[in-house]
Amino acid sequence: MEPTLLKPTLYTATGALLGGRCACGHVFFPMQTYGCEVCGRHGADLQPMTLTGCGRLLSSTVVHLHADKARTAPFAIGKVALDEGPVVRTLLVDPDREIAPGTRMVSRIVPIGDSTVDLRFALED
């Protein structure tokens, strides 16, 4: 059985991110048609654009405490500037290690339960 993606509107089973591009050139994540944050164009002026999931780490932190008991700490969060432009905040595969800013990162699809997978970021191979 194919595993279920936790957030299928945000990424594909191969780790590509489902972003968008405005007619003005602004690239954004995730895809939406409400309107462009730079120029205000909307609807068909905003078209889907697949983002590779490669980027550069801006910062990372290991979280020691979290209010939601279902999310066990420690876990690590990173801020990644994707090669296409958007900056995303994401869970990192390695839960207990800070990574130096500037490091190349890549998206990974990882199992998070019996039959569910989610997108995380890890060091580029």
Peptide bond into 95 cis (omega under 30): no
Our finding on whether 69 is near another protein (CB under 8 A) is no
Subset of 8-47 contacting another protein (CB under 8 A): 9-11, 26, 30, 32, 34, 37-38
Q: Which residues contact 94 (CB under 8 A, 6 or more apart)?
A: 76, 122
User: How many Cβ atoms sit within 10 Å of the Cβ of residue 32?
Assistant: 14
119 phi/psi in degrees, rounded to 5: -95, 130
C-beta closer to another protein: residue 1 or 81? 81
Q: Is 60 in the site for another protein (CB under 8 A)?
A: yes
Q: What is the smallest separation between the CB atom of 4 and another protein, expressed in angstroms?
A: 16
Q: Is 65 in the site for another protein (CB under 8 A)?
A: yes
Q: Shortest approach of another protein to residue 17 CB, angstroms?
A: 8
Does 79 sit near another protein (CB under 8 A)? yes
Per-residue tokens: 59: 């910062």
- Measured between alpha carbons, how far is 101 from 78 in angstroms, rounded to an integer? 9
Cβ contacts of residue 47 below 8 Å, gap of 6+?
20, 21
Does 64 bind another protein (CB under 8 A)? Our answer is yes
81 binds another protein (CB under 8 A): yes
**Can you give the binding site for another protein, defined by CB under 8 A?**
7, 9-11, 26, 30, 32, 34, 37-38, 58-68, 71, 75, 77, 79, 81, 85-91, 98, 100-101, 119
